[in-house]
Structure 1
Amino acid sequence: MTPTDRRAALRVGAGLVAGGAFAAACSTSGSSAGPSSGASPGSSPGSSSPGSASTAVPREAGRASGPPPAASPSAVPAARAFPGQPAQITHGPRDRPRVALTFHGQGEPALAEALLGEAERHGARVTVLAVGTWLDEHPGLARRVLDGGHDLGNHTHRHLDINAMSEAEARSEITECAVRLERLTGSAGTWFRPSRTARASPLVQRLARDAGYPHVLSYDVDSLDFTSPGAPAVTANVLRTIRAGSVVSLHFGYADTLAALPAVLDELARRRLRAVTTTELLS
């Protein structure tokens, strides 16, 4: 990335921070520590709940009305089982120089585009776990993720505390997002990650299997970017504990994450660790 490109990317992030465009984040405590104010848990100024209108984030220009056509199912990877891996995966093999950067997919689409572009300029591939309501608002991003060679998965429909839900509610959260992924891409996606928690309860694990996800994707490195600690802190949080096989939790929707990503990727290259999709990490 040239200095000019990097300055332009950072200006995108800075401008969005000034505009107050943040995504609601996951946390291991089940509550968002993100900077949004006045937002209910699992929502963000850039997303809308069912039946409500969103004015904070414009829809893509020129978007056609109605659901977009589904892609050929054979062209889109689906969830698969990895023999020998646990039902809840926190990391991959430690004996290969690979890591997986996983992003919770929600928030301002311009930041998502900038993050994907930055990863691709470094030759990195990532995993995006998308929120269903976010896909409703920005359906073109599903194909953008896949066209960039990245993994796309399910991060529930409304990004609420899924472990605290009844069985019926939790099932709906998983299947509603899966339906949207299927409609947009021809597949329910490669991975499921629970919302507002690092690990799924036994019930949520079972419901994910029922929905076609053999494994729940957790992580062993938390960037804590949703707390908006500043780009240097995000970089340090990742690089302090990352090692071969690590799965890193990051978020779209935060300018700190965008600003930190070049330094993270440069250091991974120096350590000879490749950032790959989670599917490649485990293959």
Structure 2
Amino acid sequence: MSVDRRSVLRSTARLAALSAAGGFAAACGSSAGNTDPAEPSMAARSQPSHLAESAAPSPTAVPSAAPSPTAFALPPLAANTPQEVVTGPRTRSQLALTFHGQGDPAIAEALLKTAEQHGARLTVLVVGSWLDQQPQMAQRILAGGHELGNHTQNHLDISSMRPQQAHDEIAQCAERLQRLTGSIGRWFRPSAAQYANAMVKEQARQVGYQHVLSFDVDPHDYADPGADAVTQRVLKSAAAGSVVALHMGHPGTVQALPAILDGLTAKGLHAVTASELCA
């Protein structure tokens, strides 16, 4: 049976056009409407080099295939959001309670439930090695309406590292977030430092983090001063726009959280995610 050469050529052209359109749609995806660049897929960036001097070998406990990511949309940030956020707007009755994500998962679960019972949304900056041990916590945090960010892979003194070491610390945690949730998250917080130096900011930017999340209220709950002390320190210093630094793995922090949330309500303040605070 003869084949019409012109028909074949027309069909081939149509298939090529459809293929190109599909690739363009996949590349542009869900970034429309966000004032920040879209959070890039880790597969689209070069992988970090493996350093022989790394303080800890790359863990292997991360599942090879992620569960279906929890769908969540980050609100666009205000156009004037700085590269390093220390506080949010002082004009709204909101603040952000941010948590170092590590420690006993039962303590983390209790803390999340308490926040949810009070209608509060938290921002959890996770340590990548914790996700290797407790991968289910990534989805649990998002399922409660909270936000996830990056707090490095091993929680070492990132400010003292060479650029490639710092890059790897950030990128390894980002890979785990991408694998477990479908996103690297919006925020990076340096480990063992309140503020990011210029080198750390640049390495975070190269991994895909346009913003570093610092804080203006630190009750030093990691020193376990007791629930009453943590509560008093937070309520004394927290104000509209504050970013409070707290830690998940400490029982005193969980015990303090109900009184903190009640006290914030009495002050007319409500805990929202860092992205909501800066939107």
1:111 to 98, 107, 114: 107
Say whether 1:196 aligns with 2:192.
yes
State the one-letter code of the partner of 1:131.
V
Q: Give the Cα separation in 1 of the matches to 2:167 and 2:58.
A: 20
SS of 2:244's partner is: strand
How many angstroms does 1:69 deviate by? Answer: 2.0
> 1:231–1:260: 8 Å Cα contact kept in structure 2?
yes
2:57 to 47, 50, 54: 50
> 2:147–2:273: 8 Å Cα contact kept in structure 1?
yes
> 1:154–1:189: 8 Å Cα contact kept in structure 2?
yes
Q: Give the Cα separation in 1 of the matches to 2:59 and 2:182.
A: 27
* Cross-structure match for 1:155: 151
Residues 279 and 81 of structure 1: is their aligned pair in 2 closer, same or farther, counting only changes over 3 Å? closer
Map of 1:157-172 to 2, 5 A cutoff? 157-172=153-168
> 2:107–2:250: 8 Å Cα contact kept in structure 1?
yes
> 2:75–2:276: 8 Å Cα contact kept in structure 1?
no
Question: What residue ranges of structure 1 are gaps of 5+ in the alignment?
Answer: 1-47, 54-58, 60-64
Map of 1:88-237 to 2, 5 A cutoff? 88-237=84-233
* Cross-structure match for 1:33: none
How many angstroms does 1:71 deviate by? Answer: 3.3
1:34-72 per-residue CA deviation (whole Å, 9 max, x = no partner) reads xxxxxxxxxxxxxx953789xxxxx9xxxxx94342535
Map of 1:24-103 to 2, 5 A cutoff? 49-50=56-57, 66-72=63-69, 75-77=71-73, 82-103=78-99
Residues 89 and 51 of structure 1: is their aligned pair in 2 closer, same or farther, counting only changes over 3 Å? closer
1:76-107 per-residue CA deviation (whole Å, 9 max, x = no partner) reads 44696642122111000000000100000011
How many angstroms does 1:261 deviate by? Answer: 0.4
1:213-239 per-residue CA deviation (whole Å, 9 max, x = no partner) reads 111000000020001111111011111
Q: Give the Cα separation in 1 of the matches to 2:210 and 2:224.
A: 33
Q: TM-score, normalised by structure 1?
A: 0.75
1:4-25 per-residue CA deviation (whole Å, 9 max, x = no partner) reads xxxxxxxxxxxxxxxxxxxxxx
Q: Give the Cα separation in 2 of the matches to 1:78 and 1:181.
A: 15
> 2:69–2:180: 8 Å Cα contact kept in structure 1?
no
Residues 234 and 251 of structure 1: is their aligned pair in 2 closer, same or farther, counting only changes over 3 Å? same
Q: Give the Cα separation in 1 of the matches to 2:185 and 2:245.
A: 18
Question: What residue ranges of structure 2 are gaps of 5+ in the alignment?
Answer: 1-54
1:265 to 261, 264, 269: 261
SS of 1:222's partner is: coil
1:124-153 per-residue CA deviation (whole Å, 9 max, x = no partner) reads 000000000000000000000000000101
Q: Give the Cα separation in 1 of the matches to 2:94 and 2:65.
A: 35
RMSD value, Cα: 2.1
1:140-182 per-residue CA deviation (whole Å, 9 max, x = no partner) reads 0000000000010100000000000000100000000000000
> 2:186–2:211: 8 Å Cα contact kept in structure 1?
no
* Cross-structure match for 1:244: 240
Residues 207 and 79 of structure 1: is their aligned pair in 2 closer, same or farther, counting only changes over 3 Å? farther
> 1:77–1:190: 8 Å Cα contact kept in structure 2?
no
How many angstroms does 1:271 deviate by? Answer: 1.2
Q: Give the Cα separation in 2 of the matches to 1:268 and 1:131.
A: 27
> 2:217–2:237: 8 Å Cα contact kept in structure 1?
yes
Q: Give the Cα separation in 2 of the matches to 1:51 and 1:209.
A: 22
State the one-letter code of the partner of 2:64.
P
User: Considering only CA atoms, is the larger Rg found in Structure 1 or Structure 2?
Assistant: 2
Say whether 1:274 aligns with 2:270.
yes
Q: Give the Cα separation in 2 of the matches to 1:245 and 1:161.
A: 28
